[in-house]
Structure 1
């Protein structure tokens, strides 16, 4: 199964997302969003077009927060996947590894930090897909996840030449 994980989109409409992200989501079996849609309109557009598993983020409006949960969990083949917006991390992501174990998942996908992270904690994978629109200390990104049986392959996908939330033009 092919999954596109994204989050921290911070736009109000689907067509405000980068074209490359929309193309990738069109090819996916499942889209996972880690929150911060910002608008109910974007959530509804994505729900209509894609098979979506999502949580709300700290920047989401009340309509989005009423529709979505803070934590989600799904089984894909032989892999349990958890989704949260943010953990209680300070300087490292160890607590997210513990959160994954608490949820009983093999892969925990989280957002809020607007940059790509991929860490192993023993038999647990912790992943932040980054942000396709407002990256921080990173490039605009998402994650492509292929699940085959109990095997998980994660690929970092650069979406656009946006750095730290700004378009960069070198002269």
Structure 2
């Protein structure tokens, strides 16, 4: 089983990111942008696998790219911050992209609001804003997926 910590939008609140990590002790961290320095500092301290994309507020930071496609335990995951897909307006563009790349999970941030939507053949998941103590956990075991929204 893989335990995945999903974080987004920490906006300089490293103390919260660190506390969340220490509570959860994940195998993998997925960070969807807006506060790259926070997640980079965390990656210097801990040896989990880190997958990172830039957000709209990360334009002067290191370039991790705006999207990534991961394969974790045979589950294809599309990750992005969400601003390129207009997620504050609706999720249609993001849904189309997740379907286009044939991913099982689309992970995003940007809205600072928790989202878990289950469609016929995929999920959309937003952990909420880490700056508000919000985060997500995904467990993947034998292609079974469980999602949780949490808050410190």
**TM-score between the two structures when normalised by the length of structure 2:** 0.86
Aligned counterpart for 1:118 among listed residues 116, 124, 136: 116
Aligned counterpart for 1:54 among listed residues 29, 52, 55: 52
Aligned counterpart for 2:40 among listed residues 40, 44, 49: 44
Which one scores higher on RCO, CA 8 angstroms, separation ≥ 6? 2
Give yes or no for contact 2:114–2:127 (8 Å, CA) kept in 1: yes
Give yes or no for contact 1:4–1:24 (8 Å, CA) kept in 2: no
Paired position in structure 2 for 1:166: none
Extract unaligned runs of 5+ from structure 1: 135-139, 160-171
Give yes or no for contact 1:8–1:36 (8 Å, CA) kept in 2: yes
**TM-score between the two structures when normalised by the length of structure 1:** 0.78
Paired position in structure 2 for 1:137: none
SS of aligned partner of 1:17: helix
Query: C-alpha separation between the residues in 2 aligned to 1:102 and 1:18?
Result: 32
Q: How many residues align?
A: 147
Paired position in structure 2 for 1:102: 100
Query: C-alpha separation between the residues in 2 aligned to 1:83 and 1:24?
Result: 23
**Distance change >3 Å, CA 24–CA 61, structure 1 → 2:** farther
Deviation at 1:158, TM superposition (A): 1.6
SS of aligned partner of 1:62: coil
Give yes or no for contact 1:10–1:133 (8 Å, CA) kept in 2: yes
Give yes or no for contact 1:141–1:156 (8 Å, CA) kept in 2: yes
Q: Which runs of 4+ in 1 moved over 4 A?
A: none
Query: C-alpha separation between the residues in 1 aligned to 2:101 and 2:10?
Result: 25
Extract unaligned runs of 5+ from structure 2: none
